[in-house]
Amino acid sequence: MPKEIVIVGAVAVGPKVACRLKRLEPEANITLIDRDDLISYGGCGIPYYVGGDINDLEDLYSTSSHAVRDQAFFENCKGINVLTRVEAVEIDRNGKKLKVKHLESGEEESLGYDKLVLATGASPVIPPFPGGDLPRVFTLADLHDAEKIKKLMSQGRVGTAAVIGAGAIGLEISEALADLWGIETTLIEMEDQVLPTILGKCIARIAAKEMEKKGVNLLLSERVLQITGREGSDGCVVKTSNNVLSVDIVVLAAGVRPNTELAQNAGLSVGISGGIVVDRRMRTSDPNIYAGGDCVELQNLVSGENTLMALGSLANRQGRVIATNISGGQSHFRGTVGTFCLKIFDLGISKAGLTYRQAKLTGFDPVYAAVAQADHAHFYPSSEMTYISLIADRRSRKILGVEAAGKNGDAVKARVDAVAVLLKYGVDVDDVCGLETGYAPPFASAMDVINNAGNALDNILAGSNRPIDAADFLFDFAHKEIKVLDIRGEKEAVPFLQKYGSRWLNIPQDQLRSRVAEVPQNEPLFLLCDTGPRSYEAQVYLSSQGITDTFNIQGGFAMIIATDPEFI
């Protein structure tokens, strides 16, 4: 008897399970259901469709050979039965039946199964303030939302917009609105940084400056209190804790929540993070029911805790594991280190592992190094500055996370990927210092930026590098009478000497040993060079001369300018 497989959800995990399982067991009867009529699309591409990078909505649900992944495609090309506009209502675990409802007719029926797969995804979080259901308030839950927003913009009916939530979707849709369409866009975030669950403050500040540089009005540490309709015209009035904004549309990007109601009603285990609990074979607490994608919680392989991770890349890998195991194989999905990448205007962002704050909350004693260095050989014409933050546990020296930003997004992603694949093995600082990477001037420096991030962190842990974050330095410099020792050349230092006077001391590196008597010894001193290594050497030398109250500005002048372009 051929197996009867029913899959609930036809966006990412569901189609992957169905297609692989059909290749493994061509005789299996596979039914794929979804409450929508648009299926198997790339949801991560929605902001790029809204922004115009992708012109045709159909491109998001087409194959690389331009075949449209619709109901007929799955039935004719894959041999998979697809039911669209059908909602899963109830699971009868004892009888191994799934009750479904046809949304167009209201008719209900039961589908028998040998194995059931839940790929129910996640839904946008609708914040509890009034007005979230107004006609000009949108989410980006699916392709229909994207089409509505783009239609309004193409008709010239959107000149101003507010985006609520500065997570990945919030940043991507803000870029989409502001870049191609020239819409005056305000991004509102209740936390004090962008990407608060993804990045630490160091790299997040660089991302925020890129947004502001490209014209996005950024409101951080600000809560939305209510949204009301705008009198006399279409649009909304957004009242926050500090502002009142009149805009044509509002986009809610406050995160997503896993769709687990069907699983919970069937008595399946749901974890503390809110996702369906699965084992390494992607089985739920019922061995005949599998689950994957945005609706499940996964083990974080760095912290050991369970977490939600809504990424299409993980969903597709989980789909393969599910199909293999349903067909009798022994495939495991062990968890995630949270590898992530993002494009923000001209800036590439990537991260893996824990942020500093997440590491601290998990019980580690985190410390980090922040470095700035050219991604290619510094003399190669196309080189661009890359900024990396590397985080480790102070006691064990275990690497906990890595974050990076830079204009060459592929180079940024490559550095993070190199560390990401090692995180689940408990890689330590020494491993990153000695990490073998490819070298040629068009691609990297002989001592790669990721190696130097490890070296800087090793020096910090050893106590020879006493650092201060560039943003912390900027805050202290603005609020305290502190002094800087600039060891760059005289030409580079002149504008700062003119602007800051006696607070700015310039002794070029090649003169430091002969002029060490000029260095103040009875007050804190902040050391600066272009990117950090020379000021570190100066710190080591000054320590040997008994001058120890010094702080090396991490990433040097390059990090300061990336954090605060108006400093000079």
Determine the Cα–Cα distance for residues 197 and 542; give it in Å rounded to an integer. Answer: 39
Cα–Cα distances in angstroms (integers) from residue 146 to residues 139, 141, 236, in the given order: 8, 8, 19
For residues 116 and 32, is the Cβ–Cβ distance under 8 A? no
For residues 420 and 335, is the Cβ–Cβ distance under 8 A? no
Query: Which strand (E) or helix (H) includes residue 403?
Result: strand 399-406
Determine the Cα–Cα distance for residues 375 and 445; give it in Å rounded to an integer. Answer: 7
- The torsion angle over the Cα atoms of residues 153, 155, 156 and 161, rounded to 10 degrees, is -30
Q: What is the DSSP string of 486-536?
A: E-S-HHHHHHHHHHHGGGEEE--GGGTTTTGGGS-SSS-EEEE-SSSHHHH
Active site residue 44: yes
Enter the DSSP assignment of 428: B
Determine the Cα–Cα distance for residues 322 and 32; give it in Å rounded to an integer. Answer: 14
As to burial, measured by CB atoms within 10 angstroms (0-12 exposed, 13-18 middle, 19+ buried), residue 203 is buried
Task: Count the neighbouring beta carbons within 10 Å of the beta carbon of residue 401.
Answer: 29
Task: Count the neighbouring beta carbons within 10 Å of the beta carbon of residue 89.
Answer: 14
Determine the Cα–Cα distance for residues 518 and 169; give it in Å rounded to an integer. Answer: 52
Q: Answer positive or negative: Cα dihedral of 413, 415, 416, 421.
A: positive
Determine the Cα–Cα distance for residues 375 and 387; give it in Å rounded to an integer. Answer: 9
- Output phi, psi for 434, to 5 deg: -100, 10
Determine the Cα–Cα distance for residues 482 and 504; give it in Å rounded to an integer. Answer: 9
Enter the DSSP assignment of 300: B
The catalytic position among 44, 295, 433, 529 is 44
Task: Count the neighbouring beta carbons within 10 Å of the beta carbon of residue 547.
Answer: 18
Token pair belonging to 524: 């804190």
Catalytic residues: 44
